[in-house]
């Protein structure tokens, strides 16, 4: 029935639970898993330019580190269960 499961993650406890459920289901069905993390859009909220603490480049670097960390949870769970796994990171885009 299921051959490929897409598992979005934001690093939360609920995401971790969903990852475990997806890996269990993939193990039972012989399916593979793809972990997905969508990087949020960069926003600057400040009263004046002197208040801007992070540049867009810093934001991107930090959010990519978070994405790697979140997706590593998917990879580790799948690897431990012997499930084929890919991961994907995408930037948020407006429709």
pTM for this prediction: 0.83
Q: Which residues of 63-73 are buried (b: 16+ CB within 10 A; e: fewer)?
A: beebbeebbeb
The tens digit of pLDDT for each residue in 28-41 reads 999 999 999 999 88
CA gap 5, 23 in Å, rounded: 9
The CATH code of the domain that includes 11 is: 3.40.50.620
* Nearest of 92, 87, 91, 94 to residue 70 by alpha carbon: 87
The tens digit of pLDDT for each residue in 13-66 reads 999 999 999 999 999 999 999 999 999 887 766 655 555 655 777 888 999 999
Number of domain units in the chain: 1
Which domain, by its residues, includes 44? 4-91
> How big is the chain, counted in residues?
95
Contact 61, 9 (CB under 8 A): no
């Amino acid at each position: 029935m299921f051959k490929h499961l897409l598992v979005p993650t934001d690093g939360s406890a609920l995401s971790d639970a969903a990852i475990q459920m997806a890996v269990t289901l993939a193990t039972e069905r012989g399916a593979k898993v793809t972990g997905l993390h969508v990087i949020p859009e960069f926003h600057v909220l400040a009263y004046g330019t002197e208040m801007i603490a992070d540049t867009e480049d810093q934001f991107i670097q930090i959010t990519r580190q978070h994405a790697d960390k979140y997706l590593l949870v998917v990879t580790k769970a799948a690897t431990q269960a012997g499930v084929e796994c890919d991961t994907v990171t995408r930037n948020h885009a407006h429709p």
